[in-house]
Amino acid sequence: DPSAAPATWIWRDGALVPWREATVHVTSVGHASVAAVFEGIKAYRAVDGDRLLVFRLDDHLERLYESARLCRTVIPFPPDELRTAVLETLRANGYRDDTYVRPWAFPRGLIREQMVPAGVECEVVIDTWPFTSHLFRERACRAGVSTWTRPGDSQLPARVKAFSNYHNGRLAVMEARVNGHDWPVLLNDRGQVSEGAGACIALVRRGTVVTPSLTSALLAGITRSTVLDLLRDLGVPVEEREVDRTELALADEVFFVGTGWEVLPVGTIDGLVVGDGGTGPVTARLERAYADTVRGVLPARPGWLTEVPR
CB closer to ligand PMP out of 142 and 224 = 224
CB closer to ligand PMP out of 11 and 256 = 256
Cα–Cα dist 134/136, whole Å: 6
CB atoms within 10 A of CB 208: 14
Q: What stretches of 157-234 adopt beta strand conformation (E)?
A: 183-188, 193-196, 200-205, 208-212
The site string for ligand PMP over 155-174 (x = CB under 6 A, - otherwise) reads --------------x-----
Q: Ramachandran region of residue 296, left (φ > 0), alpha (ψ -120 to 50) or beta? A: left
Contact segment (CB under 6 A) with ligand PMP among 25-33, 228-236, 252-260, 299-307 equals 252-260
Contact segment (CB under 6 A) with ligand PMP among 104-112, 113-121, 139-147, 258-266 equals 258-266
167: which residues sit within 8 A by CB, 6+ positions away? none
Query: Is residue 287 near ligand PMP by the rule CB under 6 A?
Result: no
Q: Are 154 and 215 in contact (CB under 8 A)?
A: no
CB closer to ligand PMP out of 260 and 278 = 260
- Residues facing residue 17 across a β-bridge: 10
The site string for ligand PMP over 201-240 (x = CB under 6 A, - otherwise) reads ------------------x-xxxx----------------
Q: Are 52 and 89 in contact (CB under 8 A)?
A: no
DSSP assignment of 110-137:
----SSPPTTEEEEEEEEEEE----TTS
Q: Write down the catalytic residue from 51, 56, 108, 161.
A: 161
The site string for ligand PMP over 68-97 (x = CB under 6 A, - otherwise) reads ------------------------------
Query: Is residue 306 near ligand PMP by the rule CB under 6 A?
Result: no
Kindly tell me which residue out of 103, 198, 267, 280 binds ligand PMP, with binding defined by CB under 6 A.
198
- Residues facing residue 99 across a β-bridge: 43, 130
Kindly tell me which residue out of 195, 253, 262, 287 binds ligand PMP, with binding defined by CB under 6 A.
195
Q: Are 218 and 150 in contact (CB under 8 A)?
A: yes
Give the footprint of ligand PMP on residues 264-283 (CB under 6 A): none
Query: Is residue 186 near ligand PMP by the rule CB under 6 A?
Result: no
Give me the least distance between CB of 157 and ligand PMP, in Å please. Answer: 12
Query: Is residue 40 near ligand PMP by the rule CB under 6 A?
Result: yes
User: For ligand PMP, how many residues bind (rule: CB under 6 A)?
Assistant: 14
- Reply yes or no on whether 42 is catalytic: no
Cα–Cα dist 276/257, whole Å: 20
Which one-letter DSSP state was computed for residue 244?
Answer: -
Query: For residue 85, what is the enclosing H or E element?
Result: helix 79-92
Query: Is residue 200 near ligand PMP by the rule CB under 6 A?
Result: yes
Q: What stretches of 32-117 adopt beta strand conformation (E)?
A: 37-38, 41-45, 52-55, 73-74, 99-107
Give me the least distance between CB of 39 and ligand PMP, in Å please. Answer: 8
**Selection from 20, 39, 27 nearest residue 223 by Cα:** 39
Kindly tell me which residue out of 258, 267, 275, 280 binds ligand PMP, with binding defined by CB under 6 A.
258
CB closer to ligand PMP out of 221 and 275 = 221
Interface positions with ligand PMP (CB under 6 A): 40, 169, 195, 198-200, 219, 221-224, 258-260
Kindly list the catalytic residues: 161
